[in-house]
Structure 1
Amino acid sequence: MKKILIVEDDDKIAEIEQDYLLANGFEVERAADGRSGLAMARQDQYDLILLDIMLPGLDGFAVCRELRRYKEVPVLMVTARQEEVDVLRGLGVGADDYIMKPFNPNELVARVRSHIARYERILASVKPEQHVVKSGALEIQLDAYRVFLDKKEVPFTRREFELLAFLAEHPNIVFSREALFERVWGAEALGDSATVMVHINRIREKIEEDPAHPRYLETIRGAGYRFRLATPA
């Protein structure tokens, strides 16, 4: 049975989420504030986390950012904030998707199923042999979901890794933002191609010596982005 963690301070909304998930065969646990939700996520294993943004203690952005430092699990943000900057911020700190309040409970369940299934497909696709891309001081272990810079591991969220890995597997080919969004996020995700730019910038902050003048992830003005195979430093 798949286990879901609901982090939501509104009891009525949390109860609706819990009731529909239980009715569809999920196991559910709840937290009413950010700090307790983060503590539960650290101590236990969940197949997906439903995370509200407006939480007492730590807000959803802070919870997601901290969570991504040590654990990979699908995170679906549930929010009443419809401004694009908030949506992009949520995706930027590592959320996989978002759903707006008020929501259709059946759509919520469908979205939960979709993200769990997608994560399981990713895990099932891991092969025993190590597939590695090396470019200068950068090493990307594609099967292990690990990135090293100057032989030191760099933490990545799942979306950041998938975006970098896709570009690294197709070096020197330019992909538009729209093409990258379709390939990495897939048809089931909400949002738009601006999400790609947010993730590119976050990746550059992690792997580029000078993010304003990138060595690995180049911007081709008016066309998109490409991964350049750099020579050793």
Structure 2
Amino acid sequence: MSTIGLYQYENSYSSYIEVLKEKECTFYPLEKELDKDKQTTLEAVILDHSVGNSGESLGKICELLFRLKESEVPLIFILLQQSTPMERLIYLQLGATIVFDNQIKPNEFGIIVSNLLQPRVGLRQAVLEEKVGSGLQLNVYNHSIRLENEQEVLLTPLEYKLVSYLKSKKEQGATYEEIYQVLWQQEMGNQRYRVANLVFLIRTKIEKSTAHPKYLKTIRTIGYVFCSGCFE
């Protein structure tokens, strides 16, 4: 099942939207602003201007596309009654994925949209927000971790690699030498400070107090571990 944000030019019946409803798509009506909390759950947004004059709606659609540029929605579809090559080019340059008009039949529209949505839904369920426990979530796409207060914190690729590795170790933790080998693929030598510095940077991003960490704990003189229960 896909969740799609829907802007409708007029609240009228649309055979295009009905086709997607038959495919068990769920629609979330959108008004002037796109709720930031809703962005991460939407697979796509449809701007439905299939009723009315396409020329008159040009400015409105451009305005909506500018707003959607700031969102995290991966797919944006535009439905028009009629369109010119110039209009389609403008919309595509502003971030639209595909521009449809009445030259395409509702059933064909439904198949195209469904085909584009299916791989995204599967990936989202598998890896987009990998539950960590206690409200923590890892996002493999942008190397971020979502904290219990719903704040999303971006990590560098190296920081994310360390967090993911400690997750795989669960409550066992990992030694300085082991971590260094995983991150830099070589013997640690006297470079233990590099591991410590990286852990400190992660703590500044995810901990309220680096002196008294809640999640990323030190195993004295040995290495690091995520606290019991942080990862499922």
* Larger Rg over CA atoms: 2
TM-score in terms of structure 1 length: 0.44
TM-score in terms of structure 2 length: 0.44
